[in-house]
Structure 1
Amino acid sequence: MGKQTAVFLWLCLGLWAFAQSPKPFAGASLVFQWVEGTPLTSLMLQAGSYNLGSGFGARANVGIGLSPSFLELGADLLFPFGTGRLLPYGGFGGNWVGLGVLNFFGIRGLAGVNYSTASDTGLFAEAVPTLYLASDATGIYGTAFGIQIRFGVNYLF
């Protein structure tokens, strides 16, 4: 599957979650990430919802690497614990990080908290541990562990 197709599918998931929810969100976050000790910093754009029904939500995201340059695509299922202004949540998902000739395919868990302000803005922070399968042009060559720390803001529609 080509990168353009993958980007299209991730964005479709986010837009589907966005359209299906009574309170969808779209936002941005600053991401500090470490993969096997290598620091990566990015700006992440996301769209989704904490409430698609039956106690779960979904989110899709696209990340642009600031240092070094890379592209990241991801999607997550979200499980909120409550409905108040302070909303802790957990979840799991997958992502792809393209770093030059290296590709990292990840399975991740996440834990975070969202605080909804008096307006329709939500501030959030989360930790995202990830297990990656790493590959390059010659094939798959191993696994890597990574963790992301995200700080961001979402606008609730």
Structure 2
Amino acid sequence: MGKRIAVFSLLCLGWMAFAQSAKPFAGASLVFQWVEGTSLNSLMLQAGSYNLGGGFGARANVGIGLNPSFLELGADLLFPFGAGRLLPYGGLGGNWVGLGAINFFGIRAPIGVNYSTASDAGLFAEAVPTLYLASDATGIYGTAFGIQLRFGVNYLF
């Protein structure tokens, strides 16, 4: 039940950012992730905005693990550097990865670039270094470092 509430909350965050912005987006990406040398590949769905006002944006995402099977939920504050078709950005956020009986709770710092095409599509690539706390049914048992490489497309509204 708690996972369903978390998914619903993250989707609401993404849709609120989507609804309040002059530049909302929704999209998908392929994610190549490594956590302490273990490869976790996934398909990520995201929604948010690069411009919520005040020089920042926000994004919420849901990831479905392809190999091995897992679920990922995350949210980020995004800080674009400039404006225009080529938009570099940085950010700060958190995520949860559920991999069987193991849970990873992460603090991450996405760094990326978005290129808006002549149509309403945006192509993006980013690197996301993450520091995780790992836990299972017995409690927290350590930390792990991970990094994601994301490549995707967003539809800009």
| CA distance in 2 between partners of 1:23 and 1:87 (Å) | 12
- RMSD (CA atoms): 0.7
Aligned to 1:30: 30
Instruction: Establish whether residue 81 from structure 1 lines up as the match of residue 109 from structure 2.
Output: no
Which residue does the alignment assign to 1:108? 108
Measured in 2, the distance between the counterparts of 1:6 and 1:133 equals 18
Runs of 4+ in 1 over 4 A off after TM superposition: none
Please give the alpha-carbon distance, in whole angstroms, between the structure 2 residues aligned to 1:115 and 1:156: 11
User: What corresponds to 1:8 in structure 2?
Assistant: 8
Partners of 1:10 and 1:132 in 2: how far apart? 19
Aligned partner of 1:149 in structure 2 is 149
Match of 1:17?
A: 17
Counting aligned pairs with the same residue, the percent is: 87
3-state SS of the aligned residue for 1:21?
Answer: coil
- Unmatched runs of 5 consecutive residues or more in structure 2: none
Deviation for aligned residue 1:65: 0.1
TM-score (norm 1): 0.99
Secondary structure of 1:83 counterpart: coil
1:65 aligns to what? 65
Equivalent-residue separation in structure 2 for 1:144 and 1:88 (angstroms): 27
CA apart distance, 1:22: 1.1
- 2:96 and 2:30 map into 1 onto residues whose CA distance is 17
Q: What letter corresponds to residue 7 of structure 1 in structure 2?
A: V
Cα deviation, residue 23, structure 1: 1.4
- The letter of the residue matching 2:77 is L
Q: Which amino acid aligns with 1:98?
A: G
Show the counterpart of 2:49. Answer: 49
> Normalized against structure 2, the TM-score is what?
0.99
